[in-house]
Structure formats: C-alpha cells, structure tokens
C-alpha cells in the first residue's frame, strides 16, 4: 500500500494539471490523526479506516513514514480539524462517556446499579404512600 499511496501523491505533484492536492492533503490529515497503533484501532472501530495490511502497527508505521515526505494543503481539512478540536474541548462530551466507561464496564455493574436504584425508588414510594395514606390507624396522621 505504501508504494501505491506514494505513486498517487507523485502523480498529483505533476505540473500537467491544476489540482487542490486532495490525495496529499488527505494522507497528511490521516498522518496527523495516526501516531500509534491504538489510533489505527480506534479509527477501524469507528469504520473510518480499513486495515488490509495486517497489523495496526504496520499501518501506523506506514503513515508515520509517509507523513515525513508530504507537503499537504492544510486548508482543505482545516474545517474538519477545527470541528474535532471543538468536540474535544467540550467537557461533558468527554466526561459522560468516560464515566460510563469507568463505572459500567461489565453487565454486573449495570445490574447492581439498576437494583440499587430500584430499591431506592421503591423505598421512596413506600414512604410517600405511608405518609399520605388516609388510614385512621396510620402512625403518621395528619392533624
């Protein structure tokens, strides 16, 4: 895949036609997103990238090597970069998924949370019905 990408970039650099360097810019954009094999794994899980090379380490190495020789037009993907940065600057978009990931990893933790929450709701309902009942022998009579 490395030679194919480099040939596409070389063809795009030919002075025969006017272009916006879309392939070079896209490869540069992906290089800015990929530093480690974990980045490749995350992009694969979100169906942004497909890995036909074998391992995520090979893909990360390919983009890191290829990125040193690129001169992309950063204005093309500037809007996407700004939206990504804006997304990660909002605290609640990060904190809520992080909380869910930390505290509800297994089905048992979800089940125990549901049981505790239902116990609290049922206790509150029982207390409310006891206080608001019209039974004359109720220990909590209204005066």
CB 60 within 8 A of CB 39: yes
Give the residue numbers spanning the domain of 130. Answer: 105-143
Task: Indicate the range of 9-18, 65-74, 129-138 predicted with least confidence.
Answer: 65-74
Q: Are residues 22 and 71 in the same domain?
A: yes
Q: Are residues 77 and 111 in the same domain?
A: no
Q: Are residues 21 and 83 in the same domain?
A: yes
Q: Is residue 99 part of a domain?
A: no
Q: Is residue 96 part of a domain?
A: no
CB 56 within 8 A of CB 44: yes
Chosen domain end from 64, 89, 114: 89
**What pLDDT score does 122 carry?**
97
* Closest C-alpha among 75, 39, 73, 79 to residue 59: 39
Could you report the per-residue pLDDT of 115-130, keeping only the tens digit for each?
999 999 999 999 998 8
Could you report the per-residue pLDDT of 27-81, keeping only the tens digit for each?
888 888 888 889 888 888 888 888 877 788 888 888 888 777 676 666 777 788 7
């Amino acid at each position: 895949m490395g030679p194919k990408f480099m040939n596409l970039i070389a063809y795009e650099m030919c002075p025969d036609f006017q272009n916006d360097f879309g392939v070079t810019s896209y490869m540069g954009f992906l290089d800015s997103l990929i530093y480690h094999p974990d980045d490749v794994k995350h992009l694969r899980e979100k169906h942004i990238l497909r890995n036909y090379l074998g391992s995520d380490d090979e893909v990360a190495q390919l983009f890191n090597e290829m990125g040193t020789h690129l001169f992309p037009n950063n204005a093309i993907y500037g809007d996407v970069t700004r939206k990504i940065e804006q997304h990660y600057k909002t605290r609640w978009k990060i904190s809520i998924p992080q909380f869910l990931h930390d505290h509800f990893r297994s089905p048992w933790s979800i089940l125990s949370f549901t049981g505790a929450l239902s116990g609290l709701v049922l206790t509150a309902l029982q207390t409310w019905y006891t206080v608001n009942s019209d039974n004359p022998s109720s220990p909590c009579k209204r005066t």
